[in-house]
């Protein structure tokens, strides 16, 4: 019978006393016997590792995938994983899947002489901003009403709503340049902010309009080359533009 018994964990460094009592089968001719021994318990201190891991601290949803890497002063390989948040990682390349906080972890599992090491870093991913495309509309005559011909912006991602200023149906009562603006509200408000865009529209006076909007309504009864030029009466019609013949 051993003391301490088999299976006892030696949790204290130093010398541990061991003892044994032996009971023979021939108790008629033999007494029990005892013996003692000591065992030296030593501790092995693993070498601590220092990890270097510096991913970007901020990103914006919609940014292209980016590479991350980490090293250890032991030169042992370091593995990076996504602990939580809207991102995936493959082969050291992080792909953002939404806005929020991404927690990345660099891990080195250690070996016979080096202790395991981990280092966490977070990335704050801001909401993305939709991209609005809005071409400058063609000029219109004073008195015209704004419509989808002018208020025709598109956005990526699609599916949201547009609010124009001035709104559709507004009568353009002043000659000159009218400033137009639009606010786009995406359906995915978790990952995208609203976006705005501006455009300008030229509003022309019918008396000064020219170009393809002129339609000739009265021609002279006679014309000869010797006259050099002719004078015609014209009207301007933006609804059904025709070229001057």
Question: What integer best gives the mean pLDDT of the chain?
Answer: 88
* Per-residue confidence (pLDDT) for residue 9, from 0 to 100: 87
- Per-residue pLDDT of 56-115, as tens digits, reads 999 999 999 999 999 999 999 999 999 999 999 999 999 999 999 999 999 999 998 999
Q: What angle do CA 141, 174, 169 make, to 5 degrees?
A: 70
Beta strand 195-204 with 140-141 is parallel
**238 or 28, which is more confident:** 28
pLDDT at 3: 95
pLDDT attached to residue 10: 81
Is residue 155 within 8 Å of residue 133, measured between CB atoms? yes
- Eight-state DSSP code of residue 127: P
The reported pLDDT for the residue numbered 207 is 64
Q: Per residue, what are the HEC states of 176-239?
A: EEEEEEEEEECCCCCCECCEEEEEEEEEECCCCCCHHHEEEEECCCCCCHHHCCCCCEEEECCC
β-strand 117-126 against 58-60: which pairing, if any? parallel
Q: What is the pLDDT of residue 234?
A: 47
Q: Residues 12, 39: contact at Cβ < 8 Å?
A: no
> What pLDDT is attached to residue 244?
38
**Per-residue pLDDT, 225:** 47
Where is average pLDDT lowest: 14-23, 50-59, 158-167? Answer: 14-23
Residues 6+ away with beta carbon under 8 Å from 25: none
Name the band, by pLDDT with cuts 50, 70 and 90, for residue 191.
very high
**Gap between the terminal Cα atoms of the chain:** 122
Task: Return d(Cα 147, Cα 62) in angstroms, integer.
Answer: 32
Is the Cβ–Cβ distance between 119 and 51 less than 8 Å?
yes
CA torsion sign, 149 to 153 to 159 to 165? negative
- pLDDT reported for residue 42: 72
Residue 14: its pLDDT value, please? 81
Q: Give residues with Cβ within 8 angstroms of 197, minimum separation 6.
A: 132, 134, 153, 181, 182, 184
Q: Report percent pLDDT > 70 for the chain.
A: 84
- In whole angstroms, give the CA distance from residue 128 to residue 60: 6
18-37 confidence digits (pLDDT tens): 999 999 999 999 999 999 99
CA–CA distance, 75 with 121 (Å, rounded to integer): 20
pLDDT value, residue 12 = 76
Would the pLDDT of 213 be above 60? no
pLDDT score for 163:
98
pTM value is 0.65
């Amino acid at each position: 019978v051993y003391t301490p018994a088999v299976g006892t964990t030696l949790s204290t460094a130093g010398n541990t006393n061991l003892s044994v009592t032996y009971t023979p089968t021939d108790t008629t001719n033999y007494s029990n016997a005892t013996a003692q021994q000591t065992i030296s318990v030593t501790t092995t201190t693993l070498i601590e590792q220092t990890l270097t891991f510096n991913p970007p601290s901020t990103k914006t949803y919609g940014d292209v995938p980016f590479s991350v890497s980490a090293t250890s002063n032991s030169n042992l390989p370091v593995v990076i994983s996504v602990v939580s948040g809207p991102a995936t990682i493959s082969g050291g390349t992080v792909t953002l899947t939404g806005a929020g906080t991404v927690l990345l972890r660099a891990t080195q599992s250690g070996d016979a002489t080096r202790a395991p090491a981990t280092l966490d870093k977070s990335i704050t991913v801001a909401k993305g901003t939709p991209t609005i495309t809005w071409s400058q509309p063609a000029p219109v005559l004073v008195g015209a009403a704004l419509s989808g011909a002018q208020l025709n912006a598109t956005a990526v991602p699609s599916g949201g709503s547009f609010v124009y200023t001035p709104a559709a149906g507004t009568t353009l009562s002043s000659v000159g340049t009218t400033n137009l603006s639009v606010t786009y509200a995406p359906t995915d408000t978790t990952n995208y902010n609203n976006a705005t865009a501006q455009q300008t529209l030229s509003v022309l006076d019918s008396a000064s309009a020219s170009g393809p909007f002129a339609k000739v309504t009265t021609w002279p009864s006679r014309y000869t080359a010797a006259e050099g030029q002719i004078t015609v009466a014209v009207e301007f019609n933006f609804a059904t533009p025709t070229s001057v013949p």
